[in-house]
Amino acid sequence: MEIGKPLEVQDLPVKALNPGQVRLSVKYAAMNFADILQSQGKYQSPQKPPYVPGCEFAGVVTEVATGVDGFRVGDHVTGILPEGTFQEEAVTTPQVLGVVPKSLDLKMAAGFLISYGTAYLAFTKGVPLREGDTVLVTAAAGSTGLAAVDLAANVFGCKVIAACGSEEKCRVAQEKGAFATINYGKESLKQRMKEITAGKGANAIFECVGGNLFRECLSSIAFSGTLLPIGFTSGDIPTIPANLILVKNIRVVGVFWGSHAQRDPESFQASVQGVSKLLFEGKIQPRIGDVFPLDKVNDAVQFILSRKSTGKVLIDVQSK
């Protein structure tokens, strides 16, 4: 593959299985916005090509080498694969895997970890939410935004305002638990927030877009509230006037979930275990959007870039 060019589907040699490793049949791989940025050379932690894109998946263990405990052939697993997930078969170490119940749909298992892990970390470490808090979520119909809506409304008991770019997406977020919505494609987020909150603003803002919307969020936060920058899907990385932080006594806490795996593994594992438990108990319901076969992977890229997706977009790796 070449950076900035369409992804290529190729046949590669089967990898040898070494002691301490497991072989997997990858069934479904999630496509995240970060995967697209990576392939365009725009991600903050770039990879040098050639490489296999994707990191989030669900599949089945097909072979277990010596020195591996806790995994058996036939186990259903999910995890984050540094070796890439847009491939039919992968060889990896068991430390990056988790067994999931066979009763759980593998599509669901493939599409929850990064989005829900990010939101869970934001709402436990970034800003410990209290029941009844008002939470604003931007890009609220995307996979990470919907995860934030789901957790804030249905797990933490907050009043969630969902901001989306269309009426259809607003409906999706409302179905997930938002009590109010803002269509920033045709109305002012700042003005609508004043109306919805009676001028009080949001206690926490889960912000995924950046650009002008980020600046409107700064004006829509409550006194002593917390702004949580999650990403910049608009491509416009904003700056923050320090006087606003001072005058409104607010906190700005960045949430980069993936970096916690190395820098704060305790918080990272707590988020993984927390959302896994919620999923297995049926307390969260990830939305799986469109599913594309592997040979249509570039169609999936364009589908996400065109802002048509809601929830998580998956690649059916075994389908061509």
pLDDT tens column, 147-192: 999 999 999 999 999 999 999 999 999 999 999 999 999 999 999 9
Confidence of residue 92 (pLDDT cuts 50, 70, 90): very high
Nearest alpha-carbon partner for 279 in 43, 120, 80, 127: 120
Whether 22-111+286-316 shares its CATH topology with 114-259 is answered: no
CATH class, range 114-259: alpha beta
Q: Where exactly are the structural domains of the chain?
A: 22-111+286-316, 114-259
Please say whether the beta carbons of 195 and 188 come within 8 A: no
- Per the model's pLDDT, the better-predicted residue between 233 and 206 turns out to be 206
Q: Indicate the average pLDDT of the chain.
A: 93
| CATH superfamily assigned to domain 22-111+286-316 | Medium-chain alcohol dehydrogenases, catalytic domain (3.90.180.10)
Percent above pLDDT 90 for the chain: 79
Helices (H) and strands (E) in the chain, counts: 11, 13
- For residue 291, report the phi and psi dihedrals to the nearest 5 degrees: -120, 125
The pTM assigned to this predicted structure is: 0.92
CA distance 158 to 155: 8
